[in-house]
């Protein structure tokens, strides 16, 4: 039977818990102290009382008139017995204290040493040494804590690697348009290049690339700091989609891609920040444009439900391996670094889209059947109402 463990197994698993180990260790210390106390008192008191009994019997045996010797002998025996008990308890108490101290130090060491190791690794991680790992060999909560710290260290190390990669890519992205602008400006100053409209248009295009990259980095910084604000109000989703599609149609046409929009018959009113939702769609369409080969198809489909509306952006592009799907919305994460650098991506667009959707109370996820099978990105928004008036197209 599933999840069916015998009582003995359950008992052993419970004893492996740290709280039960602490409880048993305290009980062990108490038992050891009591045993040492009793044993010491027994041997010392037994020996001394035996000597006293021998002395009393010798006194009674040698006395010719027992009645006159009984009283002083009994008084002496009582005092002797009290002295024996007091000395026995005193010696036994010190022995029990010593035994309990030794056991307590041993138990405390077994508990404190793993904590010291965890504390040391935590400080090293805080200082930026992300390769540090703990190596605690146990089967209790300490092992769970050690595993959690190691997982945190793995995540920090991976994030740091992505950050360093991002810095290199950002430097590359900044260098390319700056070099182009610098070269054309030097050519214009030296009269090597004619001041034609095409030249100024190219310089403006490169300046726009720089501005876009800076805006993306600034938006990501605000999102990661929890300072991303959205001004939600009832807006018509179809109009947002039509505006974004109009912006992208020339780019899709230039790359021989077909962009289609599937909208419901009735206008869908969502509670959202129109500018932020446009940013989400721009990032998703830019991603589809980047990874879909010529003569491919990109489809935007809107499916309203009772409380939410689902927007799907599907492309017929290169697809995403299943192992990468859980990570594609992480900051600095990119499936193929070489292809992304070649196509000019920074790897932060999907992270920004995730923060924007979450800020609206929605969800975002991706599905792909694998390499060459395309990818579909889904995100949801709270539904305000479904109007019965005709859509504005």
Are 85 and 104 found together in one domain? yes
CATH at 263: 3.30.565.10
Assess if residue 278 is contained within a domain. yes
Assess if residue 328 is contained within a domain. yes
Nearest to 230 by CA among 243, 241, 219, 239: 219
Q: What is the pLDDT of residue 2?
A: 43
Q: What is the pLDDT of residue 211?
A: 84
Q: What is the pLDDT of residue 1?
A: 41
Are 319 and 354 found together in one domain? yes
Locus of tokens 């138990």? 107
Q: % helix / strand / coil in the chain, to the nearest 5?
A: 65, 10, 25
Tell me 365's DSSP state. Answer: E
Output phi, psi for 40, to 5 deg.
Answer: -65, -45
What are the structure tokens assigned to 279, written together?
């940013």
Q: What is the pLDDT of residue 363?
A: 94
Q: What is the pLDDT of residue 156?
A: 86
> Which of 172, 206, 224 lies at the terminal end of a domain, its last residue?
224
Cβ(352)–Cβ(230) under 8 Å?
A: no
Please tell me the total count of domains within the chain. 3
Neighbour tally for 262: CB within 10 Å: 12
The alpha carbon torsion through 260, 264, 266, 270 (nearest 10 deg) reads -90
What are the structure tokens assigned to 314, written together?
């599907």
The Cα–Cα gap between 237 and 229 comes to 20
Are 349 and 312 found together in one domain? yes
Which residues are paired to 236 by β-bridges?
A: 269
* 166 Cβ neighbours under 8 A, 6+ residues apart: 332, 346, 347, 348
Q: What is the pLDDT of residue 382?
A: 92
Q: What is the pLDDT of residue 351?
A: 86
Are 194 and 297 found together in one domain? no
The Cα–Cα gap between 101 and 72 comes to 43
Which residues are paired to 375 by β-bridges?
A: 315, 368
> Which of 191, 224, 257 lies at the terminal end of a domain, its last residue?
224
Output phi, psi for 109, to 5 deg.
Answer: -65, -40
Assess if residue 283 is contained within a domain. yes
Q: What is the pLDDT of residue 64?
A: 46
Nearest to 290 by CA among 341, 352, 354: 341
Are 310 and 210 found together in one domain? no
Assess if residue 45 is contained within a domain. yes
Are 329 and 277 found together in one domain? yes
Which residues are paired to 312 by β-bridges?
A: 301, 378
Helix and strand counts by DSSP (H, E) for the chain: 9, 7
Are 63 and 123 found together in one domain? yes
Assess if residue 374 is contained within a domain. yes
Are 110 and 193 found together in one domain? no
Which residues are paired to 386 by β-bridges?
A: 268
Mean pLDDT by 10 residues, the chain (393 residues): 48 54 68 70 63 54 49 58 68 71 74 80 84 76 80 85 75 81 88 85 85 80 76 91 92 91 90 92 90 92 91 92 84 58 62 90 90 91 62 38
Q: What is the pLDDT of residue 341?
A: 47
The Cα–Cα gap between 281 and 273 comes to 12
> Which of 224, 247, 269 lies at the terminal end of a domain, its last residue?
224
Are 238 and 367 found together in one domain? yes
Assess if residue 141 is contained within a domain. no
Nearest to 291 by CA among 258, 315, 327, 321: 315
Are 62 and 91 found together in one domain? yes
Q: 214 lies in which domain range?
A: 163-224
Assess if residue 59 is contained within a domain. yes
Q: What is the pLDDT of residue 302?
A: 94
Are 28 and 80 found together in one domain? yes
Are 33 and 171 found together in one domain? no
The Cα–Cα gap between 54 and 77 comes to 11
Assess if residue 136 is contained within a domain. no
* 213 Cβ neighbours under 8 A, 6+ residues apart: 170, 173, 174, 346
**3-state SS class at 245:** helix
Cβ(301)–Cβ(311) under 8 Å?
A: yes
Cβ(297)–Cβ(335) under 8 Å?
A: no
């Amino acid at each position: 039977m599933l999840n069916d463990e015998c009582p003995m197994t359950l008992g052993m698993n419970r004893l492996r818990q740290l709280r039960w180990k602490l409880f048993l260790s305290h009980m062990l210390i108490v038992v050891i102290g009591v045993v040492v106390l009793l044993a010491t008192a027994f041997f010392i008191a037994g020996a001394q009382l035996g000597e006293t009994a021998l002395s009393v019997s010798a006194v009674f045996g040698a006395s010719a008139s027992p009645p006159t010797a009984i009283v002083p002998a009994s008084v002496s025996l009582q005092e002797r017995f009290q002295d024996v008990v007091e000395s026995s308890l005193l010696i036994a108490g010190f022995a029990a204290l010593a035994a309990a101290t030794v056991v307590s130090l041993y138990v405390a060491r077994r508990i404190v040493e793993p904590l010291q190791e965890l504390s040391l690794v935590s400080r090293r991680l805080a200082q930026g040494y992300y390769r540090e790992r703990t190596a605690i060999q146990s089967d209790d909560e300490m092992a769970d804590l050690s595993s959690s710290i190691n997982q945190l260290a793995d995540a920090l190390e991976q994030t740091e690697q992505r950050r360093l990669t991002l810095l290199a890519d950002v430097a590359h992205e900044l260098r390319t348009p700056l070099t182009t602008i610098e070269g054309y400006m030097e050519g214009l100053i030296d009269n090597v290049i004619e001041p034609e409209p095409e030249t100024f248009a190219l310089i403006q295009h490169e300046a726009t690339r720089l501005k876009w990259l800076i805006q993306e980095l600034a938006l990501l910084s605000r999102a990661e700091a929890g300072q991303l604000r959205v001004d939600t109000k009832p807006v018509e989703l179809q109009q947002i989609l039509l505006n974004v599609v109009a912006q992208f149609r020339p780019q899709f046409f230039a790359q021989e891609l077909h962009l289609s929009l599937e909208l419901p018959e009735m206008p869908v009113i969502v509670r959202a920040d129109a500018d932020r939702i446009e940013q989400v769609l721009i990032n998703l369409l830019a991603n589809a444009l980047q990874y879909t080969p010529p003569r491919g198809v990109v489809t935007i489909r809107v499916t309203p439900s009772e409380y939410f509306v689902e927007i799907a952006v599907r492309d017929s592009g290169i697809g995403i391996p299943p192992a990468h799907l859980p990570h594609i919305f992480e900051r600095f994460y990119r499936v193929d670094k070489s292809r992304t650098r070649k196509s000019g991506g920074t790897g932060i667009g999907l992270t920004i889209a995730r923060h924007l959707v979450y800020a609206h109370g929605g969800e975002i996820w991706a599905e792909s059947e694998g390499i060459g099978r395309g990818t579909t990105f889904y995100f949801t928004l709270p539904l305000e109402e479904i109007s019965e008036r005709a859509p504005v197209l």
